Structure 1
């Protein structure tokens, strides 16, 4: 009797394989959230800058004698609120000025036993925390970040090689074209203008397709060079779904309408990206 081939695995879906051991890298929106920083040294200063850049409300708990010059500057400039004492468990229940629990806790002190105790208290209160230099006592890590205006690129080694992460981040930053942050800023402004012009939810797919064409049609330098008048003129092509070449767009300066340009005679044209 002839055996039949095993057909069980012939139609297996080609899905990505799971690779464990990673962190879930997210952009955590903490604007106007309360972040408690325990400590006032060099590491605390870096943590404070990170969360201030994300527009958080920062409370620093540390005796004045333990403040380094940068943290003291943040306090003197009223960029953070300072509580001049050591951490107390009550800090996880209510903090000024809102008298509410912190949304995040960052610990950067040279006392492993005290750090672990704070970590355990945070777990009891279900408050996400990061204990500097103790990966096992961290709900999240700080990666090495390249920043250029709205552009942020984070490199993480999951705590295994921070110095290597910094080197990779510098290499990536050096490969990016100059002005990329400004170009992204201009794209963001154009999206805001477009959403005001076509605000309905049903317009979403068309807006996304047209913005993709705009992003593909112009270089970084071209986007940086667009004036407000250029962006207003560019929006005139949205309904048609077309994107004018840059020299055609510049020719509209001074109040010329698209129909005033001889856009189909070879001098001007449309660059429509599928």
Structure 2
């Protein structure tokens, strides 16, 4: 059945594409050939391309071209758009909008294929979104000759890459690809994924990014034993906190506590481990002393401040406990 660990000879129905196990790279827990999932050929390699300031050629000016343009602008690419007016209203808006106009060079004319003065070899990616199938095929042939990757809208065999259904929430981006078979099905799956995401997913991703950045400052370098330990420690911390609570990593005091008390010993601290260093009571976002330090903007490393806050915290804890006891006796 699809999604199971069945062998590569299994069939997934009329498409003739064999079923595959859930795709994931090898892990250190895999110790023998029986642990390795079968290789099922025919998948796309899903990548996140960094296109900032890269030259992209977009041929067409209709609705599909407007969708392509939207994603290209968000990736900070520079787009050469070739299409005669009138353009789709959203394309014209992007050209007229000062916040995006500098990313677009619009040539108000049809594309001439092999005879055009704009050559595909001058671009990192080429995309066509036109109704002329013969011209689309010619553009595809030109790109193949020049070894430039091309996407021809609605003709999968002439595509080196697909767009798929995408969603973005802050730094998080998700792509659902059906290999060009069912774009609408991909969009429906995307909406299911969107509904399942925690409401604070943007803050969670931001938080874990800050923690990872702080860790790399303490343990710089690429690869080697230290790099592996850094990856393992981050994985353990993320697993222990879970998506719903990782937004707390945005608090600098929380990150500092996790790193100070966890990283040197390669210890994994979870939310329940962030205890007050003064009275053992748990305080959201870190210890009570950390919270007071932040409010008073004092340096907790100062011996005078440390002693003063220690006595103050103890007094607060005693007052809270006494108040709770009197409240219970009066009732």
Q: Give the secondary-structure state (helix, strand or coil) at the position aligned to 1:122.
A: helix
- Check the 8 A contact 1:62/1:86 in 2, yes or no: yes
Q: State the partner residue of 1:70.
A: 90
Distance in 2 (alpha carbons) for counterparts of 1:221 and 1:173: 15
Query: Structure 1 residues 196, 163: closer, same or farther in 2, change over 3 A?
Result: same
Query: Structure 1 residues 200, 136: closer, same or farther in 2, change over 3 A?
Result: closer
2:265 matched to 1:240?
yes
2:189 matched to 1:159?
no
Query: Structure 1 residues 157, 242: closer, same or farther in 2, change over 3 A?
Result: same
Q: How does 1:24-35 map to 2 (within 5 A)?
A: 24-35=45-56
Q: How does 1:32-43 map to 2 (within 5 A)?
A: 32-43=53-64
Query: Structure 1 residues 160, 244: closer, same or farther in 2, change over 3 A?
Result: closer
Deviation at 1:241, TM superposition (A): 2.0
Question: Which of 1 and 2 has higher RCO (CA within 8 Å, sep 6+)?
Answer: 1
**Structure 2 regions of 5+ residues with no counterpart?**
1-31, 276-284, 294-298, 311-331
Distance in 2 (alpha carbons) for counterparts of 1:120 and 1:198: 49
Q: State the partner residue of 1:56.
A: 77
Distance in 1 (alpha carbons) for counterparts of 2:108 and 2:254: 53
How many residues are aligned here?
242
- Give runs of ≥4 in structure 1 deviating > 6 Å: none
2:218 matched to 1:218?
no
**Structure 1 regions of 5+ residues with no counterpart?**
1-11, 95-100, 262-274
Deviation at 1:223, TM superposition (A): 2.1
Distance in 2 (alpha carbons) for counterparts of 1:200 and 1:42: 46
Q: Give the secondary-structure state (helix, strand or coil) at the position aligned to 2:179.
A: coil
Distance in 2 (alpha carbons) for counterparts of 1:227 and 1:191: 13
- Check the 8 A contact 1:92/1:125 in 2, yes or no: no
Q: CA RMSD in A?
A: 2.5
Q: Give the secondary-structure state (helix, strand or coil) at the position aligned to 2:118.
A: helix
Distance in 2 (alpha carbons) for counterparts of 1:141 and 1:27: 12
- Check the 8 A contact 1:39/1:66 in 2, yes or no: no
Query: Structure 1 residues 216, 16: closer, same or farther in 2, change over 3 A?
Result: closer
Query: Structure 1 residues 138, 245: closer, same or farther in 2, change over 3 A?
Result: closer
- Check the 8 A contact 1:34/1:59 in 2, yes or no: yes
Distance in 1 (alpha carbons) for counterparts of 2:216 and 2:109: 49
Residues 134-181 of structure 1 deviation map (CA, whole Å, 9 limit, x = unaligned): 112111111112322222222211111111111111112211211112
Distance in 1 (alpha carbons) for counterparts of 2:214 and 2:39: 41
Q: How does 1:4-23 map to 2 (within 5 A)?
A: 13-14=33-34, 15-23=36-44
Query: Structure 1 residues 112, 200: closer, same or farther in 2, change over 3 A?
Result: closer
Q: Give the secondary-structure state (helix, strand or coil) at the position aligned to 2:267.
A: coil
- Check the 8 A contact 1:179/1:224 in 2, yes or no: yes
TM superposition score normalised by structure 2: 0.66
